[in-house]
């Protein structure tokens, strides 16, 4: 009986370890969501603009005046993630599930943490509501005026509530 319990527990822990990582070529849904095989994965700790979300970026500066134009920042965010991944496999470490039953994960292309890369380059923001880990990377992007921080935008969570 004890032998049976030990074998069962060993198999359970082995399956748990096996299922905590997903590796494959992703389909990028938007700047913070990918699909690998049958897994819907939300990049944990970050929030990217929505696909229909418009932001503003400067296009002309005359003396003290800066003129801005609208652009679809969610589409740019998605495009940048696609470009960063290229045609390479991604490894995601599954950390749990969100209320929409998507897997929350930290995802990597080789040694590059894609969650951090998106925030550090200004294509997503730190999702403070759920994690503080990417705040220093957001601060870097803000100081360097990278991505979203080069113009003006509404926090994606607030934009979702308004739309």
Q: What are 103-160's pLDDT values in tens digits?
A: 999 999 999 999 999 999 999 999 999 999 999 999 999 999 999 999 999 999 999 9
In tens, the pLDDT along 16-51 reads 444 599 999 999 999 999 999 999 999 999 999 999
CATH assignment at residue 150: 2.40.50.90
Indicate the pairing of strand 90-97 with strand 103-109: antiparallel
Domain of 69 in residue numbering reads as 22-162
SS3 23: strand
Whole-model pTM over 0.75:
yes
Nearest residue to 116 via CA among 83, 155, 151, 84? 84
* Residue 94, pLDDT above cutoff 70: yes
Domain presence at residue 106? yes
Q: Would 26 be classed as within a structural domain?
A: yes
Task: Domain count for the chain, please give it.
Answer: 1
Return the percentage of the chain with pLDDT > 70, whole number: 88
Q: What percent of the chain has pLDDT over 90?
A: 82
User: Is the Cβ–Cβ distance between 126 and 147 less than 8 Å?
Assistant: no
């Amino acid at each position: 009986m004890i032998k049976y319990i030990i074998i069962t527990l060993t198999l359970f822990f082995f399956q748990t370890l096996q299922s905590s990582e997903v590796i494959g070529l992703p389909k990028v849904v938007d700047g913070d969501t990918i699909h690998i095989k049958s897994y819907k994965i939300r990049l944990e700790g970050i929030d990217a603009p929505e696909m229909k979300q418009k932001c503003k970026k400067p296009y002309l500066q005359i003396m003290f005046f800066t003129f801005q134009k609208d652009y679809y920042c969610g589409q740019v965010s998605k495009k940048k993630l696609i470009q960063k991944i290229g045609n390479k496999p991604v490894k995601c470490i599954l950390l749990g599930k969100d209320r929409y039953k998507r897997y929350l994960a930290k995802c990597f292309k080789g040694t590059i943490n894609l969650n951090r890369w998106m925030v550090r380059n200004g294509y997503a923001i730190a999702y403070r509501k759920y994690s503080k880990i990417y705040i220093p990377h957001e601060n870097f992007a803000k100081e360097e005026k990278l991505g979203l921080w080069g113009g003006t935008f509404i926090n994606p969570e607030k934009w979702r509530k308004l739309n």
